[in-house]
Each structure stands twice: as structure tokens, then as C-alpha cells.
Amino acid sequence: MRPAAFLAAAALLCLPARAELPEDHRTLRRTTSYDEMKRFLEGVDGKGPVSVSVEGTSTKGRSLYLVRLSHGGTPAWKLFLYAQQHGDELSGKDALLYLIRDVARDPALLPRDVEVWAMPMVNPDGAEAGTRENGAGADLNRDHMTLDQPETQAVHRVARRVRPDVAVDCHEFSRDSDSWKRRGWEKWPDITMDGLDTPLFDPGLVAAARRWVDESAAVEEAAGHRFLRYWVGGAPPDDEQRPSAPDVDGGLNAIGAYGGLSFIIEAAVRHGSQDPSADLGNRVDAYLALLRRFVAGGSRRADDLAAIAAARKRPLPPFLPTNYLWVNPGPQVTGFPVIEVATGRTLTIPTPNLMTTMAVKRSVPTPLGYSVAPPAAPVFAALLTRHGIPFETVTAPRPARVESVKLLRVEEEFDDLYERYGGRAVTSRGEPVGGDLPAGSLWVPLRGETALRASLLLEPLSLYGLYRYPRYRALVGADGVLPVRRVVALPGAAPPGRPR
């Protein structure tokens, strides 16, 4: 046998391609590959409330599948569930496939007034290669601000079209991280979850999401799993623990900026010490308990819908937070559960380093809108289009009072806890001056439902703004002036943030 043919035959023997999912998800010992998922989805398309479409193409040409579960009519509760942005985080994808399979078999599992949109494999290239990154080497869950990758662009197109009441971003975290292992511990939960948390979001929406998180502990306990709110950080008691980053370059907050409840779920996997598929069925089971509850609508769906409607109508507040972080106001000492690996016992470690509260360190007055200088206009026009944010190209000079912002430096220190927060932009705000918005510049008003997203994306004084990305830093002038200016007065403009 020629080597290539031998290898192909061996691969077939080792990994029999599955036509169907194993009947009981709890017995799953191997994740579903791209080809298996493709065949599975082709098989369920058209069965009961299931319809399958392709939303886009990955950097390496694989299809980005989108599945709709709907009985037709106008839904009262819409979900958008997306998984495997990180190609090596498996169980959310498998859980979504079982959710789809079950509804295809028994349509009554989907309430009449609920519509589910699912993208089980956002990153098929990373899934096939077993990498966190996509086919272009990009971490998709750090791409939601610039939307450079076709996979994240597809996620945002769906979010804008569907306007989900609930969005869920499915991940996995390492149960056996190094700093914990050194102490002889593993992380305690099987599964974790957190809700949207950028401080500019409507407090009622943030509180509604947090209620889902708090109520999930009992849901998982009933299903036989250990649940905690999502915490990231080193081992207690010394190292800081914080919830998910409040940035908008991840799916949690970027999709939350469309005005629905938004969540991240992370199931615990042993990446280093054993085959990550060994307890895959258990992780899928933990996932399904939470996903089924989202489909059912939770305990207070009417309250959630009222909070979502109010958040979408809310004008921008008079000040925009530009620098914020998680803190422990106290310090409060919290018992943090860990598993002692040697004995399997659960220990409770008192720690004062659990960050529970979002503190805003600095805010700036909300401008009327932003003006983008003509040389940067093409790059920003493309960016705003990818985000669905309306803008106007100025054809004749228009009088305005504007504030320029100078970039003093970008700090690149590596921070163990925040890690990705390299790229803090230290800026200074100039005095407002009278002048013109020049012809060829872009005018981005902070009006209507897109005002929130425009301010999160464009505010030049944001500590973690666009200028940590080389492509946008290249647009900063030699004098340090940023291409986006804050427009504080404009004859004939509506007050900031007022919905039309």
C-alpha cells in the first residue's frame, strides 16, 4: 500500500466518520467534526421546525452554518446561540447540535412563540486544525471591535438581522490551569456563565442578565453539575479573580451592544492533564441544562422583554465611561471553592481578591457625534459599514465645534490577569474649537439605537479603543492627533443620543 493510501485507510479505521450523533449525548467521547456536522445538518434540514442555511465562508473556504428553529409566525422570544469561536473549545458546538436534533425529532420541545438561531461552529478552520485561532491566525473573540474576519462579520450580520432577545457565546475554560495545578488544585465548577457587563449598558439590562446567571446555579445543581459565575484569574487567595472583560472586542459585550441579554458560557475542560474529549459528554450535559432553560424563557420572560425594550429606547447618558475595571469594594473576603486533586475534596479558600464590582475610573461628556478626518475616511467607512452604524460623508464644509484628541502613548505592558489588555491608549483631550467638518470627512451622529455602538467603537478617549490595533494606529497623525474628533456643537443637530 502506498503511504498516502495507508494513512488514509488508517485514519478511517481510527476515526470512523459518523453519520448521526451518538444517541445519548452523555456518552459522547469525541467531538463532531466539520464534515460530520455538515452531514448531520443536511439530514435535519426541513425536519419539523429546523431550517439550515449558510451565512458566510471562513477564511479557508468552509461554510459558516446557521440553523433556524421556528414554528413560523412572529416570535415573542428570539435566541441567538453561537459556539466554537475558539476552534479548540468543543462542547458548546456539540450541545447546540443535540439541541437541534432533539427539536427536529420532537418539535413540541420548541415553544410556539420561540425562535432559535444557532451557529454551532463559528470557526470551522480552527475546529479542524484544533486551534483557538481561525484560518488567518486571528483570535475571533478579540475581533468584535474591528470585525476584520469573515467569521465575526457573519456573527454580527446575524445579530443585526435577528435582533435576539438573548445571545449566548459558548466557550470552554481550562480546569487545570498552571497556577492552580501548582497548588494541587483544580477549578471547581463544571460550567460557568456571566452576562454583559460594559458600564455603558443599561443597568436594567445588566441586572436582568445577572439574574439569569444567579439562577443558573440551581438549574445546574438539579442536573448534577457544579456552577459558578464565570471568573478568570490565577489561584486564590493571592491572585485576582474577575468576571469576563468589559471590553467590546469579545462577543459577550459586542453582541450585547445590539440591545438584548448577552451571555458567555464556559464549560470546564482539562486541557493539559488528559484527553479533552474524555468527559465531553458531561460538558455537553451541563451545557444543555442552561441552553434548554434559555429556550424555555426562564422565570421572568416578560420582565426581561421589558428590560430589553427599555434598554433599546434609552438615550446615551450625558457621560461616557472611558476607563473602567473590576474591583473588590471592601475588601470583602469570599470563600472560593477549589478541588484538591490528590483527594478529590472540595476546599473553600478565603480570598480578598475576588473582583465583584465594575468601577468607572473616568468618564467624559457625551459628544453630539464624531467626525472622521478625510484621510482615514475609507478605513472608517468600511468599519462602520461592518457594524451597521449609519454615517454621512460630508460634501461641503459644515461649521462645528470639535475637540481633537492626542495619543500620548500606547502602553504595552503584559498584565497577567488582563493579558489582552496590552494596548492601553493614554490620550489627552483638546479644548473645543470652532471650525468646519471638512468635505470628505465622515459625520457619525450619536443618535438612535446605533448611538451606543458608535460611542463604544469610536470614542477617541477610550482607554481600550481602536488604536491598540496597528491598522488604526497607522492612521494617527505625526502630531499624535487621532483621526476621530469629538463634535460637541453643530448648528441644527439634535441633542446627543435622542432616539428619532
Stretch that binds Zn ion, among 14-22, 83-91, 151-159, 462-470 (CB under 5 A): 83-91
Q: Is residue 175 involved in binding Zn ion (CB under 5 A)? A: no
Q: Which is nearer to Zn ion, 178 or 340 (CB)?
A: 178
* Cα gap 215→217, rounded to integer Å: 6
Q: Which of residues 338-377 bind Zn ion (CB under 5 A)?
A: none
Stretch that binds Zn ion, among 84-92, 117-125, 347-355, 391-399 (CB under 5 A): 84-92
Q: Is residue 171 involved in binding Zn ion (CB under 5 A)? A: yes
Stretch that binds Zn ion, among 4-12, 21-29, 166-174, 227-235 (CB under 5 A): 166-174
> What's the angle, vertex CA 225, arms to CA 354 and CA 89, rounded to 5?
75
Q: Which is nearer to Zn ion, 93 or 171 (CB)?
A: 171
* Cα gap 441→313, rounded to integer Å: 29
Question: How far does Cα 2 stand from its chain's mean position?
Answer: 46
The residue number with the shortest CB distance to Zn ion is 171
Name, in order, each residue with C-beta under 8 angstroms of 302's C-beta and a sequence gap of 6 or more: none
At closest approach, how far in Å is the CB of 139 from Zn ion? 9
Q: Which is nearer to Zn ion, 171 or 283 (CB)?
A: 171
Stretch that binds Zn ion, among 3-11, 169-177, 236-244, 341-349 (CB under 5 A): 169-177
φ, ψ for residue 166 (rounded to 5)? -135, 130
Q: Which is nearer to Zn ion, 171 or 314 (CB)?
A: 171
Q: Which is nearer to Zn ion, 25 or 171 (CB)?
A: 171
Q: How many residues bind Zn ion (CB under 5 A)?
A: 3
At closest approach, how far in Å is the CB of 296 from Zn ion? 26
Q: Is the dihedral of CA 135, 136, 137, 140 positive or negative?
A: negative
At closest approach, how far in Å is the CB of 359 from Zn ion? 26
Nearest Cα to Cα of residue 99 among 336, 287, 381:
287
Q: Which is nearer to Zn ion, 36 or 89 (CB)?
A: 89
Give the helix, strand, coil percentages of the chain, each rounded to 5. 30, 25, 40
User: Strand pairing partners for 108?
Assistant: none
Q: Is residue 86 involved in binding Zn ion (CB under 5 A)? A: yes
Q: Which is nearer to Zn ion, 90 or 162 (CB)?
A: 90
Q: Which is nearer to Zn ion, 140 or 407 (CB)?
A: 140
DSSP 81-99: EEE-SSTT--HHHHHHHHH
* Cα gap 336→341, rounded to integer Å: 16
* Cα gap 231→261, rounded to integer Å: 19
At closest approach, how far in Å is the CB of 173 from Zn ion? 7
Helix (H, G, I), strand (E, B) or coil at 500: coil
Q: Which is nearer to Zn ion, 31 or 70 (CB)?
A: 31
Q: Which of residues 2-41 bind Zn ion (CB under 5 A)?
A: none
At closest approach, how far in Å is the CB of 141 from Zn ion? 6
Q: Kindly provide the residue ranges of all beta strands, DSSP E only, lying in 270-372, ordered along the sequence.
A: 319-327, 334-340, 346-351, 357-365, 369-372
User: What are the b/e assignments for 54-87, b being 16+ CB within 10 Å?
Assistant: ebbebbeebbbbbbebbeeeebebbbbbbbbbbb
Stretch that binds Zn ion, among 85-93, 106-114, 291-299, 338-346 (CB under 5 A): 85-93
Stretch that binds Zn ion, among 14-22, 106-114, 170-178, 423-431 (CB under 5 A): 170-178
Q: Which is nearer to Zn ion, 155 or 307 (CB)?
A: 155
257, 144 Cβ separation under 8 angstroms: no
Q: Which is nearer to Zn ion, 89 or 240 (CB)?
A: 89
At closest approach, how far in Å is the CB of 487 from Zn ion? 37
Stretch that binds Zn ion, among 80-88, 220-228, 302-310, 464-472 (CB under 5 A): 80-88
Stretch that binds Zn ion, among 165-173, 252-260, 433-441, 452-460 (CB under 5 A): 165-173
| Contact flags string 88-107 toward Zn ion, x per CB under 5 A | -x------------------
Q: Is residue 187 involved in binding Zn ion (CB under 5 A)? A: no
Q: Is residue 225 involved in binding Zn ion (CB under 5 A)? A: no
At closest approach, how far in Å is the CB of 86 from Zn ion? 4
Q: Which is nearer to Zn ion, 133 or 240 (CB)?
A: 133
Alpha-helical segments (H) within 15-81: 34-44
The order of strands in the sheet holding 369-372 is: 392-393, 442-445, 369-372, 484-489, 398-403, 433-437
* Cα gap 367→372, rounded to integer Å: 14
User: Strand pairing partners for 399?
Assistant: 436
**Element (DSSP H or E) covering residue 294:** helix 280-296
- The identity of residue 164, as a single letter, is P
Q: Applying CB under 5 A, which residues contact Zn ion?
A: 86, 89, 171
